[in-house]
């Protein structure tokens, strides 16, 4: 696959200091100004921005000032310049203006308002994570020892940025933009509402859902296993229980364990583990899902604020105009 990963996202919020403090607690690794390197040298990080790394993905989150919360930019990693040429041509065929530099192709999806930047990037090299020994009926995989998940004391550190979920005022066109324009593949769909799309072997890297206003619904960060999902969320909630949104549960589409929390700007952030993986496209059968069945397999029911965040109305009425 020519596209192979998400690289870095730029998140715009009205309160970058508070939001940055939240993501440091979430387990992302803050970078100082001297260490900041941005994938595309034509857009250096302005002083005062907050940049965070994951364990395996390098610098993957930049937080900047914005009048209202939104995803400003989404970076997608590609192998070589031919990919950028193909994408520029495909986007042009959709009538989308493309900015092409030596190492990147950049265009704005009108439905989500997000600048998508496809850029040359190295592939992930994730060290294999040993599965903890789980006892099961007839399987004594762990004897005379307590479960590793209860003994861990180190802070939870997300391994990589997994996916973003975006509200689009034109879901149909946004899907076209990502699928036909950029080259994402569709893993599953909820007709008329959403499409789960991938640019890697992850089940989804971008989900675009129909919404009354363009906005960032959530970002999702991979951790080692379900114990890390639980430990991460528990630690965040110990600091502030009001951060809780939805979890612990297991999604049906994508299969992953999840727990969603709310950052101080109103964006949701998800810890996830055990997402479906698609290596051979021919062997995956995309599904069509309706309603709550696709949303989760088990867990508490999703709160209404997960499906329609409480600040949507304020964003719609223009109380916070994007600048
Ligand atoms: Fe998610």
**Per-residue pLDDT reduced to its tens digit, 59-86:** 999 999 999 999 999 999 999 999 999 9
| Count of residues in the chain | 323
Q: Provide the 3-class DSSP secondary structure of residue 19.
A: helix
User: Which residues, at least 6 apart from 148, have a Cβ–Cβ distance to it below 8 Å?
Assistant: 132, 133, 227
Dist. CA 112 → ligand 1 center (Å): 17
Dist. CA 100 → ligand 1 center (Å): 30
pLDDT at 319 over 60: no
Q: Provide the 3-class DSSP secondary structure of residue 143.
A: coil
Record the tokens describing residue 81, joined without a space.
């310049």
Q: Where are the strands (E) in 70-131, listed by range?
A: 70-78, 99-100, 104-108, 115-120
Dist. CA 201 → ligand 1 center (Å): 16
Dist. CA 113 → ligand 1 center (Å): 20
Nearest Cα to Cα of residue 229 among 256, 206, 207: 256
Model confidence pLDDT, tens digit, residues 94-119: 999 999 999 999 999 999 999 999 99
Dist. CA 260 → ligand 1 center (Å): 8
Dist. CA 145 → ligand 1 center (Å): 33
Model confidence pLDDT, tens digit, residues 179-191: 999 999 999 998 8
Q: What is the maximum span of the chain, computed from C-alpha positions, in angstroms?
A: 64
Dist. CA 288 → ligand 1 center (Å): 18
Q: Give the H/E segment covering residue 58.
A: strand 58-65
pLDDT at 40 over 60: no
Dist. CA 165 → ligand 1 center (Å): 7
Angle at which helices 226-239 and 16-26 cross, to 10°: 140
Residue 241 in contact with residue 233, Cβ under 8 Å? no
Alpha carbons 173 and 189: distance in angstroms, whole number: 14
- For residue 187, CA distances in Å to 230, 254, 286 come to 27, 9, 5
Dist. CA 218 → ligand 1 center (Å): 7
Percent of the chain with pLDDT over 70: 93
Dist. CA 249 → ligand 1 center (Å): 11
Dist. CA 130 → ligand 1 center (Å): 24
Give the model's confidence band at 322: pLDDT under 50 very low, under 70 low, under 90 confident, else very high. Answer: very low
User: Which residues, at least 6 apart from 193, have a Cβ–Cβ distance to it below 8 Å?
Assistant: 171, 209, 210
Q: Provide DSSP, 237-304.
A: HHH-GGGEEEEEEE-SSS--EEEEEE-TTS-EEEEEE---B-S-GGG---EE--HHHHH-SBSSPPPH
Nearest Cα to Cα of residue 203 among 283, 277, 255, 258: 277
Dist. CA 37 → ligand 1 center (Å): 27
pLDDT at 42 over 70: no
Dist. CA 156 → ligand 1 center (Å): 18
Residue 204 in contact with residue 279, Cβ under 8 Å? no
Dist. CA 204 → ligand 1 center (Å): 9
């Amino acid at each position: 696959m020519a596209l192979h990963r998400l690289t870095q996202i730029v998140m715009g919020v009205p309160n970058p200091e508070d939001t940055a403090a939240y993501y440091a607690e979430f387990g992302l690794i803050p970078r100082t100004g001297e260490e900041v390197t941005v994938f595309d040298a034509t857009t250096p990080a302005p002083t005062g921005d907050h940049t965070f790394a994951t364990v395996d993905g390098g610098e993957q989150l930049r937080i900047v000032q914005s009048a209202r919360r939104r995803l400003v930019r989404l970076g997608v990693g590609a192998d070589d310049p031919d990919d950028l040429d193909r994408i520029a041509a495909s986007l042009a065929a959709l009538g989308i203006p493309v900015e092409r530099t030596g190492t990147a192709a950049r265009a704005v999806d009108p439905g989500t308002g997000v600048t998508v930047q496809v850029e040359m990037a190295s592939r992930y090299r994730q060290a294999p994570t040993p599965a903890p020994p789980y006892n099961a009926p007839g399987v004594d995989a762990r004897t005379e020892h307590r479960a590793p998940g209860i003994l861990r004391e180190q802070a939870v550190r997300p391994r990589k940025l997994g996916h973003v979920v975006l509200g689009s005022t034109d879901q149909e066109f946004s899907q076209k933009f990502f699928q036909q324009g950029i080259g994402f593949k569709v893993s599953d769909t909820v007709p008329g509402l959403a499409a789960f799309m991938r640019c890697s072997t992850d089940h989804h890297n971008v989900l675009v859902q129909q919404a009354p206003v363009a906005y960032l619904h959530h970002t999702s960060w991979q951790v080692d296993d379900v114990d890390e999902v639980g430990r991460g969320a528990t630690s965040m909630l110990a600091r502030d229980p009001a951060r809780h949104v939805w979890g612990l549960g297991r999604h049906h589409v994508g299969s992953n364990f999840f727990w969603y929390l709310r950052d101080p700007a109103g964006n949701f952030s998800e810890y996830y583990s055990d997402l479906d993986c698609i290596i051979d496209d021919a062997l995956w059968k995309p599904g069509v899902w309706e309603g709550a069945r696709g949303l989760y397999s088990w867990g508490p029911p999703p709160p209404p604020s997960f499906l329609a965040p409480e600040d949507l109305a304020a964003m719609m009425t223009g109380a916070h105009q994007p600048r």
